[in-house]
Amino acid sequence: MPVFKMPVPVKIMGRSSSITNSFVNGIIPCIEPTENEIDEALSVLGMNRETACCAYCGSPHTEWDHLNPIVDDKQPTGYISEIHNLVPACSKCNQSKGNKDWKTWIYSDAQLSPKSKGTPDLDERVSRLKEYEATFEPRKFNFEEITGVELWSKHWDNYERIIDAMRLAQSTSDEIKKLIMENVGISVQRKPKQPNYVRAGNTNNQNESFPSNTEDEALLEESGIAKRDNETLQHYVQRSFCFLMKNSYIPDRELRDLSDKEYTNRVLGLNDRFLSRERWFDSSGNSRAWKDPYHGYYLCSEWNKRRFHIIEPKYRHWVAQMIRTGKMTNRA
Ligand SMILES: [Zn+2]
């Protein structure tokens, strides 16, 4: 360890993942198994209480892991915490597996996967696990159907409201910190000047004028790229992206940033990156992007209908902002 180590600075938004976690995991039921059920589960895995170990690699087990992930891409999958969806696991396997499909992961070269670790009896373990799934058939529910759309949306709206409040609190906190630092005599390092380009991701800063939706709409209308009444959001995304690219309105830096999940989430509210030079897939091999590239970029195909009321205004605002900054940059 070096002599000096700076404590990690705290950010309000740094707590956002635990909020997400509590909203997603907080609604998933945990069903305590009976002693009999535990014995039964172990026996199908070829173990007993004395020989119980990680079902994936055979190391000593430290926890029970969800065989089918209960969360994927910040959304509940419909599986719940019940013994029929749990197997004993070591923490290394649990971490390495994450939300991946266990059958793909176990034979993958992922760091610390059973195959990477050279687990000797892998095929035997896989067939035990398959038998486990066949014997107990972990249940999968449609939570939205159970709760009804209204209650379900209320939950996610609450979530969005809290995250939005945190964003606002973050910018106030940044402002305060900046003033205090100036007061202690440390000038805040200015980022290289970028005169004509306001980063879309920084629009929560209270000091920046935030154009109203009417201004956005007027600009989109005037530029001939307003969303048509009967047009789907997906179609509008494709059409407006082509429009922006054709006019060179999107700065390179923005294109780079939008291939980042967190940045995209902040700017567009999507739960994935907006674009990438290469097509990308989820852990089950399903494409997360539309099949054909647009101006050399694959675009995210995951536009969650339930979140349109959040995503659509954000997207329109982003398009307007790209036109605004693009026009200024092109003129300069
Ligand atoms: Zn293991």
pLDDT per residue over 3-12, tens digit each?
888 888 888 9
Q: What is the CA(38)–ligand 1 centre distance, in A? A: 19
Residue 196 predicted with pLDDT over 50: no
pLDDT band at 332 (very low <50, low <70, confident <90, very high): low
* pLDDT tens, residue by residue, 241-289: 999 999 999 998 899 999 999 999 989 989 899 999 998 988 777 889 9
Q: What is the CA(54)–ligand 1 centre distance, in A? A: 5
pLDDT band at 118 (very low <50, low <70, confident <90, very high): very high
Q: What is the CA(126)–ligand 1 centre distance, in A? A: 13
Q: What is the CA(205)–ligand 1 centre distance, in A? A: 45
Q: Which amino acid is at 117?
A: K
Q: What is the CA(112)–ligand 1 centre distance, in A? A: 8
User: pLDDT at position 126, please?
Assistant: 96
Q: What is the CA(55)–ligand 1 centre distance, in A? A: 7
pLDDT band at 187 (very low <50, low <70, confident <90, very high): low
Q: What is the CA(81)–ligand 1 centre distance, in A? A: 19
Is the CA virtual torsion 247, 299, 272, 89 positive or negative? negative
3-state secondary structure of 13: helix
Angle at 247 between CA 244 and CA 251, to 5 degrees: 65
Q: What is the CA(319)–ligand 1 centre distance, in A? A: 47
Q: What is the CA(68)–ligand 1 centre distance, in A? A: 16
Q: Which of 112-116, 145-149, 328-332 has the lowest mean pLDDT?
A: 328-332
- Sequence-distant (6+) residues with CB within 8 A of 223 are 243, 323
Q: What is the CA(73)–ligand 1 centre distance, in A? A: 23
Quote the tokens at residue 240: 């407006």
227 in Cβ contact with 301 (< 8 Å)? no
Mean pLDDT along residues 311-323: 92
Ligand 1 ion local residues (Cβ < 5 A): 54, 56-57, 59, 90, 93
Residue 190 predicted with pLDDT over 70: no
Closest CA to 83 of 48, 24, 122, 35: 35
Q: What is the CA(103)–ligand 1 centre distance, in A? A: 14
Q: What is the CA(114)–ligand 1 centre distance, in A? A: 7
3-state secondary structure of 140: strand
Strand partners, 281: 287
Q: What is the CA(282)–ligand 1 centre distance, in A? A: 23
Q: What is the CA(17)–ligand 1 centre distance, in A? A: 26
Mean pLDDT along residues 42-46: 96
Q: What is the CA(115)–ligand 1 centre distance, in A? A: 11
Q: What is the CA(58)–ligand 1 centre distance, in A? A: 6
Q: At what angle do helices 308-331 and 213-222 cross, to 10 degrees?
A: 60
165 in Cβ contact with 204 (< 8 Å)? no
Q: What is the CA(89)–ligand 1 centre distance, in A? A: 5
211 in Cβ contact with 284 (< 8 Å)? no
Q: What is the CA(174)–ligand 1 centre distance, in A? A: 42
Q: What is the CA(13)–ligand 1 centre distance, in A? A: 33
Q: What is the CA(47)–ligand 1 centre distance, in A? A: 15
